[in-house]
Amino acid sequence: MQLDFRNINTLWSSVIVETLSRLGLTTAVICPGSRSTPLTLAFARHPHIETIPILDERSAAFFALGIAKRTHLPTALICTSGTAGANFLSGSY
């Protein structure tokens, strides 16, 4: 994967995604939002990570949990800032 040097956010996002890929991550469930755009784009551009967009955070959490249980591999969840991350808690148990 080629690193994106346009600004510090895109650089760090591409480094994080590449690191996760090298550690074995193959799937990311994305709840798009403006603050998570650099991270979302880095996941979407990575050739070895499947990205699945889901608008509702609660649904995304349960969907990611199902993928993780089926594959026995971790699944990334990406959301915007604020209270959006709290909605992931419903699917984390």
pTM: 0.87
What is the domain count for the chain? Answer: 1
Q: Is the dihedral of CA 40, 84, 54, 27 positive or negative?
A: positive
Residue 4 has pLDDT above 70, yes or no: no
Residue 2 lies in a domain: no
Higher pLDDT, 4 or 78: 78
Residue 2 has pLDDT above 70, yes or no: no
C-alpha triplet 45, 86, 7: angle, nearest 5°: 35
Domain residues for the domain of 30 are: 8-91
> What number is the average pLDDT over the span 38-64?
95
CATH code for the domain of 48 = 3.40.50.970
Residue 43 lies in a domain: yes
